[in-house]
Amino acid sequence: MKTKILLTLCLISLVCLDANSQEKFGKTLNLGVGVGGYSGYYNYVGHNMPVLTLNYEFDVAKSFTLAPFVSYYSYTNQYYYGNNNNGYKYYNYRETVIPIGLKGTYYFDQLLKATSPWDFYLGASLGFSILNTHWDGDYTGDKHVYKGANPMYLNLHIGAEYHFNSKIGAFLDLSNGVSTLGLAFHGVK
């Protein structure tokens, strides 16, 4: 199912690709560090945590881009468990989550008559997450106690980018899952 979703997203992006597009938004590598936690996709963790993200934007139509993305976060927590044979104690577990998918972004620069160093956008990300949970070796209880991350990934974004020059910019991406601050490298082939 996950593979079918990702392949469908990639095929849609290739079919929609407009090779004649003259927009300045595409061919951009975006690297960001964000914080997720209490809202959206990451709310089951119960605290904020650092999230790394990477995407590559390409033009699809006027003022619209698609960007395959990958993110990464990992956290450790404890679970109190025991029984009559082993007694009760805290056991550690570590969960690593890698969301992968496609982000669609619409730029409002022309509509807002934004000056050249600024870009303003709305976007949405759709994909799935690769999950890996590891428990202490002596833990004998239910290893699915915590629901963990939903394998389906959906985020809504609003953001802005400031261009330092034609090759590098800085962006702030606010989302219902992870708010990200990062660097954009334009013209990357």
Instruction: Tell me the CATH number at 152.
Output: 2.40.160
Predicted pLDDT of residue 107:
94
Portion of the chain with pLDDT greater than 70, in percent: 77
How would residue 159 be classed by pLDDT, with cut points 50, 70 and 90? very high
Residue pLDDT, tens place only, 108-142? 988 888 778 999 999 999 998 888 878 887 777 77
Residue 84 has pLDDT above 70, yes or no: yes
What is the arithmetic mean of pLDDT over 54-73? 93
Cα distance between residue 55 and residue 45, in whole Å: 24
Number of domains in the chain: 1
Residue pLDDT, tens place only, 6-51? 444 444 444 444 333 334 677 999 999 988 754 444 545 666 778 8
Residue 49 and residue 62 in contact, taking contact as beta carbons nearer than 8 Å: no
Cα distance between residue 150 and residue 168, in whole Å: 34
> N- to C-terminal Cα distance for the chain?
31
Residue 50 and residue 73 in contact, taking contact as beta carbons nearer than 8 Å: yes
The residue range of the domain holding 55 is 2-186
